[in-house]
Amino acid sequence: MATQASTRAAGDLAHGSVSACGARHVAIIMDGNGRWAKKRLLPRFAGHKAGVEAVRRTARAAREMGLECLTLYAFSSENWKRPASEIADLMGLLRRFIEADLDELAAEDVQLRVIGNYQALEPALVALIDDAVARTAANGGPILAIALNYGSQDEMVRAVQRIAAQAAAGSIAPDAIDASDVDAALDTADLPPLDLLIRTSGEQRLSNFLLWQAAYAELYFTDTLWPDFDGTALRQALDAFRTRDRRYGGL
C-alpha cells in the first residue's frame, strides 16, 4: 500500500491544487497570549483579547494569500486545567468572535469548521457553533477550522472507537483497516492534508495538536507572541515553507 503521505503528495501534484503561496493547509498553535499581557503588566484576559485580533488579521491574510485551509488551535483538551475564570474568559471571547465575525466570514464565502470534542462545551455555545458551521457549510471558499476542546490523543481515541464499532458490526475487517480509514475517522477528515504547522511564542512542542496529521507537515517555530502575529508573520512562515525540501521518505 502506498503511504498516506506519498499518496497525498502525488495527489497534490496531480491536481495542481497548491495555492500561489505553496501550501494548501496551514495550522497554528496560537501560543503566548499570557506572556504578551504579562510584558505589558496587563491581566491575561488582555492577552487573549488581543489574540482574537490576531485571529482576525491572520484569517484575512490567509484568505488573501489563497490558502485553502487555516486551522487554529484555540482551546486544548488540556486547557481545562486552567482556572475557571480564565476558561470562562476564553469561552466568552469565542462566543463574541462568532457573533461578531460570522457575517464577514459568510460574506467572504468562508466555510467555518470545528475540530475537537466541542460538544462537551456548554450547550448554548454548542448551539451557536452548530448554527455558525451550518450557515457556512454550503460555502465554496476557504476553510477556517477552529480546534476547540481539541486534543490529538482524544481525537485518535474517538477515531479508534468509531472504527472498532464498524469492525464489531462487521462492516470492516480488522486486517483491512488502513491509513485512509484512520484519516477518514479523524475530525480533520474533510480538510486538505496539512502542509505547515506554525507555533508562536518560542515553545517547541506540539502540545497534543494534529499529531497524526503532522506526520509530514513542515514545522515552523517563531518567538513572536500570538497577539503580535499578523499577515507579515504568516508570509514569513510561508516563505520559509517554500524553501523546504519535502521528500516524504523518498529522494
Complex with Mg ion: residue 4 or 76, whichever CB lies closer: 76
Query: Does the annotation mark 117 as catalytic?
Result: no
User: What is the rounded distance in angstroms from the CA atom of residue 192 to the CA atom of residue 234?
Assistant: 19
Which cell numbers in the block locate residue 118?
466541542
Q: Does 33 bind ligand IPE (CB under 6 A)?
A: yes
Contacts of 118 (CB under 8 A, 6+ apart): 126, 129, 148, 149
Which cell numbers in the block locate residue 61?
491574510
Which cell numbers in the block locate residue 75?
482551546
CB of 225 to ligand IPE, least distance (A): 7
**Cell 507579515 identifies what position?**
232
Q: Does 155 bind ligand IPE (CB under 6 A)?
A: no
Q: How do beta strands 69-76 and 25-29 pair?
A: parallel
Q: Does 223 bind ligand IPE (CB under 6 A)?
A: no
User: What is the rounded distance in angstroms from the CA atom of residue 35 to the CA atom of residue 201?
Assistant: 8
Q: How do beta strands 143-150 and 196-199 pair?
A: unpaired
- In the set 29, 50, 129, 198, which binds ligand IPE (CB under 6 A)? 29
Work out what residue 117 binds among Mg ion, ligand IPE, none; the CB cut-off runs from 5 to 8 Å by kind: none
Binding mask 44-63 for ligand IPE (x = CB under 6 A): --------------------
CB of 242 to ligand IPE, least distance (A): 25
CB of 118 to ligand IPE, least distance (A): 13
Q: Does 27 bind ligand IPE (CB under 6 A)?
A: no
- In the set 207, 221, 235, 248, which binds ligand IPE (CB under 6 A)? 207
Q: Does 151 bind ligand IPE (CB under 6 A)?
A: no
Instruction: Report which DSSP code applies to 206.
Output: -
The DSSP line for 85-141 is: HHHHHHHHHHHHHHHHHHHHHHHTT-EEEEES-GGGS-HHHHHHHHHHHHHHTT--S
Which cell numbers in the block locate residue 68?
485553502
Work out what residue 74 binds among Mg ion, ligand IPE, none; the CB cut-off runs from 5 to 8 Å by kind: ligand IPE
Work out what residue 142 binds among ligand IPE, Mg ion, none; the CB cut-off runs from 5 to 8 Å by kind: none
Binding residue numbers for substrate: 32-36, 44, 48, 76-78, 80, 82, 199, 205-207
